[in-house]
Amino acid sequence: MSILEEVLRLEPVVSVLKRRTACAMTVESDAGAMAIPANTLLEIDVGAANRDAAAAGACPHQLDPDRIRPAKGSASLMSFGDGPHRCPGAAVALHEAAIFLGHLLRVPGIRLERRPTLTMNPVSTGYELRDAVIVAA
């Protein structure tokens, strides 16, 4: 499970989350304070947030299933959203993937016969892998 969460941290399925501000706010950054008016549409770069050393810990660009993170938050960080917008099916999705991969990788002689086609989904701003063919000898 920790490997799956770490892979999703580095390669989130949805790369951008869009949210509107409920009220005016000020955000501090390296460039200084930035005032954001109420009802502003913000785009959150999930991958960049997940690779922020303050959230992910040391060496945030490396795959490390034993990564030690701050106590607050999930291991996959923003890959399933956060707060009231966190995906309610996150735990189910992770368990489904773990079960599927556990069974798939135990198939003798399994190999990739045709590489998948990589496309970007304009709605989710995430990538999709299609048309892969996996066979067993």
Residue 71 confidence (pLDDT): 67
What tens digit of pLDDT does each residue of 74-111 get? 778 888 888 888 889 999 999 999 999 999 999 999 99
- Mean pLDDT computed over 50-57: 90
Higher pLDDT, 13 or 113: 113
Record the pTM.
Answer: 0.78
* CA dist., res. 8 & res. 78, Å (int): 9
Tell me the pLDDT tens digit for each residue of 7-28. Answer: 999 999 888 888 899 999 999 9
Give me the pLDDT at residue 78, please: 87
- The amino acid that residue 57 corresponds to is G
Query: CA-CA distances (angstroms) from residue 60 to 32, 63, 69, 127, 128?
Result: 24, 8, 10, 21, 24
